[in-house]
Every structure is written in C-alpha cells, then in structure tokens.
C-alpha cells in the first residue's frame, strides 16, 4: 500500500480572536505550540472479507433465482415489525445518525441536525428510494414506511428526484446527481447503496397484494405509475446491476443495516450477501457479462489511524485567525486524502467546516464595506429559481412565478423560499418589500434552524409595504430560510429584500 508521511508544523501559535472554533484539549506545553512529530499514515481503505457471519440466512440451501427469492422473502418478512410513517421519522434520526451528532443526505452528502426535519430547503425529509407512486402510495402498505428503503435527504434534492426512475442521465446536475423529466442518477458514492435498496424491495414485497419488480422496459414503468397494489415496475434493472457492481458495500451500509434491524427486525440481504443479486437476476447479469464474483463479498472499512490523525489535526486549529489560513488549508488537504468511507467517520468534520467558514468570514469582513446595508433586487429575475448576490450576501430563491420588472410571486397554496447566506455578524434586521391586491394576507417566516420569527401582513394592495423583521438572537453564521406564503387572493409579490446593518 502507498503511504504518505505527514508532519506537524513547528511553533504553531494559537492567537486568540473573537471568532472561536472548537474546544481542543491541551497539555501543559501545547498552549503555545505543537511539538514537532512525524506520523506515517496509511490513507488506503482497508478491504475486509465475510461481511455477514451471523445465522440469519442459515436456512438457505439454493442458488436458483426463483427459489432464492422466495426463501429470502420468507426470511426477511419473518419477525418484521411494521412502524408508522411518523415513527419512521424518529427511527431515521437513529438509523441515519452518524458519529452521534448528524444525519447525512443520501443524494447531496449534506450533514444536518437530526432535529432539523421538514419540507423547506436546508431541512431533511424522508425519501422513498422506491418511489411510492409505483405501487404503494398509501400508508396502509408496509412498504410506505419501510426504513430499509426510506433514506434521509435534503428536501430540495428530494424534490428533484421526485418519482423518477433510476438511469444514467445527461441532464440537470447538482451535488453530483443528474436528472431529466423522467430519470434520476444519484452521485457515484451512493449508486450501489441505491441499487441494493431497490433489490431489497423486489424481494421484500413479492406477493399478490404488492409485487414490486425491476425492469428495463420503460413502457411497463410508465404504465404502473400511480398504481396502488398489484404489480408495479421501476428501473432500470441493468443500470442498477452495474451500479451495484461498481460501488461495492461499504461500512456505512453495514452499520445502517444493523441499526435498521434493531428497529424493524429485518435485514437487507444484498448488503450482507451482495452476490445474491447475481443469482436472482442471473439472466440480466449474464447479458451484461456480470458474474457472481463481481459482487464480491468484501467491503471497504474505515482507516482508524488516519481518521484519528485528521481528527487531532482539526482540533489543533483552535481559535481561528487570518494567520491560520495555511494551517486550515493543510488540515483540509489531510482530510481530502481519506477515502470516502473513512471521511464519513471523522468526528470533528463539522468543526473543520466551521473553521473554514469562520476564516472566510474574517477574510470577507477584512475586504468588505460593512457600514452599509445590502438590497437584493428581484425585479429583474428571468426565472422562477436562481441566485442573486450583492456585497457578499447571497440569496438562493425558488418561487412559483416571476414577472420581470415586478418581482417574484407567491400564490395561494405555494410559497416563495429564499436561502440567505454569508450574513455573518453584521446584519441586525431584514426588510421585505411586498405588495398584492384584494386585501390579501401574507405570512413571512424567517428561521436559522433554531430561532424563528413570523409576521402576518394584512390588507395588502398594489401599494408596496415595507415589513421589517428583527434578527436579534439569530445565529448569523448559519443560513437563513425566508418563507413567504399567501393565505387568500391571487398572489403576493416580493420586489426586493434589504439586509440592514
């Protein structure tokens, strides 16, 4: 294995500033410098054999596809404990919670507070990997709340996936995912995860009341959309088999499979024994020249020494100052050398992110005029979603409608959502410029994920109102989510937002 030698720099001085990051523990001599040392770190992932060695599958004695599928169906349904959809939300806070402090969006990799669930951008919600519109769009079906299939996803990217089937796509891209009107391709890091979940669903739900099947036939997929019960199809099977081969099981999947078993009392056999995919889908695998050995019963495990080293390097940053830019860059480089599995087990990753962010704050404040307010003008937008930045403040917006020259519109039952970034510690309040007609009522809400402020604006007319909301008590190191809804009438127009010093 290749090995890299990393050295701790001499004489690293911890300069105190108003911007703090982490609470590193120190020995007597470490408060002024970090001693010189040399550490050899192996950044290659460890490959282990024999993923699952328990007796869960001991009753199996066949590799015939149909017989194997039938026997696996009995095994994973035996003892299965159905939970409600609401209970699944709480379950995912445990099943998808890593390092005891965050949940991670499957599609984007974004890490979020387990309690920050909801339907707004920046919040997480439950994604049906097998889109529920294909066979079980009703909570009466066990599949609807199956935590082996439900995954934490950020609400925006969840909406982009919608009920699209899986395929390799050349289309709109975000976070490494791509999609078009009917197909969705997840980022490379989780393609195998998605495939093994889809395989699980075809085995778990294989009865007259609900029979889920994978196919490459798009006509079958389209015909089963919005179907309730019976046989429903998704795909594409050939693509999912290829993804499962090229993205093998990793330790995170194994940890999650065990956590799901603790709650739901069944396992995903394609995580424990990836080679089962070959035997069940043998005809398709043979056409693709995929062999059982291609689904090797091995997985990549985290590299404990490298993880511990990176964690200690993150804590060595201490108080963030402009002088520590090179140190922060070096620590980031150490983190980037880890394989993707090991990265997911770095306990102090969020501390590194905060250090990077606070360094950016200091750099920005050193080069920016913070004595004036900033206005984001929506009157010249040319689409229902986009990004506008001014004086360092960035606004990502999504709206039902827009009118160039007037602004962005909120309709009854639909909302404008705006994510405000890079506010730092200089903004004291926000002013929304809003108008409407027919004496409408609008609700303006602002949240940093913990603090919330809400304002009801009555009797809107074509004469624009200025509504100012205080941000006292808000954590402006976080993004702010601004939501504007209309309670009656036709529409509410937002022309601009001012961020006041």
Residue 306 lies in a domain: no
Q: Of 330, 347, 366, at which residue does a domain stop? A: 366
Domain holding 112, by residue range, is 46-300
pLDDT tens for residues 347-406?
Answer: 899 899 889 988 887 887 777 666 667 899 999 898 899 999 887 788 999 998 888 889
Residue 327 lies in a domain: yes
pLDDT of residue 459: 81
pLDDT of residue 22: 43
The residue that leads in pLDDT, 222 or 477, is 222
pLDDT of residue 13: 26
Q: Determine the Cα–Cα distance for residues 348 and 314; give it in Å rounded to an integer.
A: 7
| One domain for residues 320 and 172 | no
Q: Determine the Cα–Cα distance for residues 144 and 152; give it in Å rounded to an integer.
A: 14
Q: What are phi and psi of 95, to 5 degrees?
A: -65, -40
| One domain for residues 92 and 148 | yes
Q: Are 345 and 305 in contact (CB under 8 A)?
A: no
pLDDT tens for residues 37-82?
Answer: 345 677 777 777 767 888 999 999 999 999 999 999 999 999 999 9
| One domain for residues 39 and 119 | no
Total of domains in the chain:
3
- Compute the residue count for the chain: 501
pLDDT of residue 412: 72
Which range is least confidently modeled, 26-35, 92-101, 210-219? 26-35
| One domain for residues 61 and 91 | yes
| One domain for residues 294 and 202 | yes
Residue 307 lies in a domain: no
pLDDT of residue 10: 25
The residue that leads in pLDDT, 427 or 259, is 259
Q: What are phi and psi of 43, to 5 degrees?
A: -95, 5
Percentage helix, strand, coil, to 5, in the chain?
A: 30, 30, 40
| One domain for residues 71 and 216 | yes
| One domain for residues 232 and 323 | no
Q: Which residues contact 172 (CB under 8 A, 6 or more apart)?
A: 160, 178, 179, 180
| One domain for residues 387 and 416 | yes
Q: Which residues on neighbouring strands pair with residue 456, listed in sequence order?
A: 443
Q: Determine the Cα–Cα distance for residues 289 and 294; give it in Å rounded to an integer.
A: 10
Would you give the DSSP letter of residue 323?
A: G
pLDDT of residue 12: 25
| One domain for residues 272 and 393 | no
CATH number, domain at 442?
2.60.120.260
pLDDT of residue 489: 63
**Residue 31 pLDDT level (bands cut at 50, 70, 90):** very low
**Residue 248 pLDDT level (bands cut at 50, 70, 90):** very high
pLDDT of residue 40: 60
Residue 192 lies in a domain: yes
Residue 163 lies in a domain: yes
Reply yes or no on whether the pLDDT at 20 is more than 70. no
Residue 308 lies in a domain: no
pLDDT of residue 404: 80
**Residue 327 pLDDT level (bands cut at 50, 70, 90):** very high
pLDDT tens for residues 150-209?
Answer: 999 999 999 999 999 999 999 899 999 999 999 999 999 999 999 999 999 999 999 999
Q: Which residues on neighbouring strands pair with residue 91, listed in sequence order?
A: none
Q: What is the mean pLDDT of residues 331-336?
A: 94
**Residue 25 pLDDT level (bands cut at 50, 70, 90):** very low
Would you give the DSSP letter of residue 225?
A: T
Q: Determine the Cα–Cα distance for residues 130 and 128; give it in Å rounded to an integer.
A: 5
**Percent of the chain residues past pLDDT 70, beyond the cut:** 89
Q: Of 275, 300, 325, at which residue does a domain stop? A: 300
* DSSP letters for 138-203: STTSGGGG-TTTEEEEEHHHHHHHTTPEE----SEEETTEEE-SSEEE--GGGHHHHHHHHHHHHH
Q: Which residues contact 103 (CB under 8 A, 6 or more apart)?
A: 92, 93, 96, 97, 111, 112, 113, 114, 124, 152
| One domain for residues 341 and 412 | no
**Percent of the chain residues past pLDDT 90, beyond the cut:** 61
| One domain for residues 200 and 68 | yes
Which range is least confidently modeled, 194-198, 217-221, 251-255? 251-255
pLDDT tens for residues 401-442?
Answer: 888 889 998 887 789 999 998 876 678 899 999 988 777 888
0.85 exceeded by pTM: no
Q: Of 300, 332, 353, at which residue does a domain stop? A: 300
Residue 309 lies in a domain: no
CA 475 from centroid of its chain's CA atoms: 22
Residue 65 lies in a domain: yes
- Cis previous bond, 236, omega within 30: yes
pLDDT tens for residues 433-471?
Answer: 998 877 788 899 999 888 899 999 888 888 889 999 999
Q: Which residues contact 60 (CB under 8 A, 6 or more apart)?
A: 68, 71, 72, 75
**Residue 26 pLDDT level (bands cut at 50, 70, 90):** very low
Reply yes or no on whether the pLDDT at 128 is more than 70. yes
| One domain for residues 279 and 154 | yes
């Amino acid at each position: 294995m290749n090995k890299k030698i990393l050295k701790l720099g001499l004489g690293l001085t911890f300069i105190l500033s108003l911007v703090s990051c982490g609470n590193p523990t120190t020995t007597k001599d470490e408060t002024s410098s970090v001693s010189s040392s040399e550490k050899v770190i192996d950044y290659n992932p460890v490959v282990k054999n024999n993923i699952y060695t328990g007796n869960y599958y001991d009753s199996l004695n066949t590799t015939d596809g149909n017989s194997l599928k039938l026997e696996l169906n009995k095994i994973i349904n035996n003892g299965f404990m159905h939970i409600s959809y609401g209970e699944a939300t709480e379950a995912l806070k445990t099943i998808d919670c890593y390092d005891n402090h965050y949940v991670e969006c499957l599609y984007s990799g974004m890490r979020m507070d387990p309690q920050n669930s909801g339907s707004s951008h920046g919040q997480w919600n439950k994604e049906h990997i097998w889109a529920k519109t294909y066979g079980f769009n009703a909570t009466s079906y066990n599949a609807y709340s199956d935590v082996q299939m439900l995954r934490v996803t950020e609400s925006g990217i969840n909406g982009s996936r919608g009920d699209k089937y899986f395929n390799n796509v050349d289309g709109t891209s975000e976070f490494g995912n791509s999609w078009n009107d009917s197909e969705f391709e997840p980022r490379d890091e989780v393609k195998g995860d998605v495939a093994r979940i889809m395989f699980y669903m075809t085995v778990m739900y294989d009865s007259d009341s609900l029979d889920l099947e994978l196919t490459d036939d798009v006509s079958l997929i389209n015909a089963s959309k919005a179907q309730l019960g019976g046989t429903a199809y998704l795909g594409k099977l050939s693509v999912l088999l290829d993804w499962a081969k090229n993205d093998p099981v990793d330790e995170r999947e194994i940890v999650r499979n065990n956590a799901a078993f603790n709650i739901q009392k069944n396992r995903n056999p394609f995580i424990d024994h990836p080679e089962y995919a070959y035997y069940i889908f043998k005809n398709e695998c043979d056409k693709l020249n995929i062999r059982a050995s291609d689904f090797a019963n091995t997985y990549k495990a985290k590299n404990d020494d490298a993880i511990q080293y990176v964690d200690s390097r993150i804590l060595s940053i201490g108080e963030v100052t402009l002088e520590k830019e090179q140190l922060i860059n070096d620590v980031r480089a150490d983190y980037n050398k880890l394989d993707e599995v090991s990265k997911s087990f770095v306990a102090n990753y969020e501390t590194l992110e905060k250090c990077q962010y606070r360094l950016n704050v200091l750099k920005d404040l050193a080069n920016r005029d913070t004595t004036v307010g900033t206005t984001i003008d929506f009157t010249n937008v040319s689409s229902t979603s986009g990004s506008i930045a001014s004086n360092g403040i960035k606004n990502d917006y999504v709206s039902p409608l827009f009118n160039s020259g007037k602004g962005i519109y909120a309709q009854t039952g639909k909302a404008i959502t705006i994510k405000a970034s890079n506010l730092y510690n200089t903004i004291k309040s926000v002013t929304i410029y809003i108008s409407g007609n027919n004496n409408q009522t609008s609700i303006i809400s602002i949240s940093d994920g913990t603090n919330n402020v809400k304002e009801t604006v009555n009797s809107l007319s074509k004469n624009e109102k200025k509504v100012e909301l205080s941000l006292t008590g808000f954590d402006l190191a976080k993004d702010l989510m601004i939501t504007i809804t209309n309670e009656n009438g036709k529409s509410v127009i937002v022309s601009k937002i001012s961020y006041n010093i």
